[in-house]
A and B are shown apart, each in its own frame.
Chain A
Amino acid sequence: MLEARSVTIGVARRDLFRDLSLRLAPGKIMGLCGPSGSGKTTLGRVLAGLHPHRAGQILLDGLPIPRKGAHPVQYLAQAPLATMNPRWRVARVLAEAGCPEPDLVAAMSIDPDWLERFPHELSGGQLQRVSILRALTVRPRYLIADEITAPLDPISQARIWKALTDLAASHGIGILAISHDAALLGRIVTSGIEAIGARPA
């Protein structure tokens, strides 16, 4: 269970949320929606340990998340290109996380041809699959999927979510799906949609 217990999250001098609580169960996909600027991305980054929170706790199975090693909550960005060193080929980008397991490579349908290319030479959908495979390689317990298919064509979108829903079920990975697309969330969530509204004053 990944749990945010009455956390306060802020950017610069402004508080985005106060006293926000959220529970994400393993193997389940939870939706998170809200208007642009409401802080969905920041909340996702806080859960993945990429952004500090000002008060409250982020707990994994009731314990604070260890600071050493790979973070058990991995964040997947809308634009995966920026999360890869532009000087590295895809093979090296993947190797940064370790050696990917063959069944995961198959699940993400990664073409061996891509390995020798640079990230900017892949299309958005291919790149997102590489980024998911990299995150899965460190065996995370939870994934934060922040609009990961928003800029993609519907076919890539459907393929990626098909693979992710299968993985969530088979590997018991909990996924927080951040999206503004109600139709998409309706298709994929298995444990409800959390709406975060207008920012507090």
Chain B
Amino acid sequence: MNGRQSALLTAGLAATLIAGVALSARLLVEAGTSADFTARNLAPALSHPFGTDQMGRDMLARSVTGLALSLRVGLMAAGLSVLLATFMAMVSGLGRQADRVAGFVTDAMLAMPHLMLLILLSFSLGGGTTAVIIAVAISHWPRLSRLLRAELLQVSVAPYVETSRALGRSRLFILRRHILPHLAPQMLVGFLLMFPHAILHEAGLTFLGFGLEPSRPAIGVMLSDAMRHISAGRWWLAFFPGAMLLCMVLAFEAMGSAARRLISPREAQC
């Protein structure tokens, strides 16, 4: 098996896992939200592999639906973030003054403590799904934007871009045919590697109480609920949602690394 096949296989397995979670969540909504007071606080067993909580809800179903919600939030937040990063990188490409302004904004965002910014944004936007998405998106673009800006400035003085201009091609042509295709792989990798961040921050924010509403079946809500029950020995309430979250994050990391491997000039032909 060659390098590309193994990279694609890894990415495929990770994507299947993610898609599996997203799809089975649709089937498990009922099971995850319906309380069954005859089956409260059960330890993991065959009938409830992940156990049940204090209201008798199946933790497997709850974890999966929670993850699916996280995926939705992550997708939106990471996607929005990549768009913002690309936009700011392009602003940098407009000219020296624009670059200075964009650079200042990027630096200012990077200088602010990550978590504080997240909490502030989410809180001031009134909490809830939309607020979390916007908060994560706004706090995550600067790093990727810097990367894209460097790539953009490099490619825009590349001899082949210069030649294209001399051959009479318009700025729009060069942007669409030379510059954006050059940035696209970086954007994809940036997106895939931002995804786990977005999910973790969503869970973190919710855990701290600044994120999704406590009524939503979110991983963060589950983890924060579980805190109260850990001392009572009900470890499964925190362990399984946490482990599932970890698996999801690792799956995205694997996809990101595989994509990066495919576009890296050194490893691409191996």
Contact = CB atoms under 8 A, between A and B. Distances in A.
**Touch test A–B (CB under 8 Å):** yes
B124 interface: no
When A and B form their complex, which 8 residue pairs have the shortest distance between CB atoms, in order from nearest? Answer: A70-B168, A82-B159, A83-B163, A69-B168, A83-B159, A71-B166, A85-B160, A97-B167
**Chain B interface, >50% SS class:** helix
Interface of B: 158-160, 162-164, 166-169, 177-178, 181-182
B166 A70 contact: yes
A50 interface: yes
A97 B173 CA distance: 12
A74 B160 contact: no
B158 A82 contact: yes
B159 A77 contact: yes
Contacts of B168: 68-71, 138
B181 A50 contact: no
Contacts of A69: 168
B68 to A, nearest CB: 36
A96 B164 contact: yes
B185 to A, nearest CB: 10
Interface residues of A, number: 21
A75 B160 CA distance: 12
B166 A74 contact: yes
Contacts, number: 40
Interface in A85-140: 85-87, 96-97, 134-135, 138
B265 to A, nearest CB: 9
B179 to A, nearest CB: 10
A143 to B, nearest CB: 12
A49 B159 contact: no
B166 A48 contact: yes
A68 B171 CA distance: 12
Contacts of B162: 50, 83
B159 A96 contact: no
Contacts of A97: 167
A75 B181 CA distance: 25
Contacts of B158: 82
A84 interface: yes
Nearest to B155: A85
B166 A96 contact: no
A96 B181 contact: no
Contacts of B169: 96
Interface string A36-79: 00000000000011100000000000000000111100110100
A75 B163 CA distance: 8
A82 B157 CA distance: 11
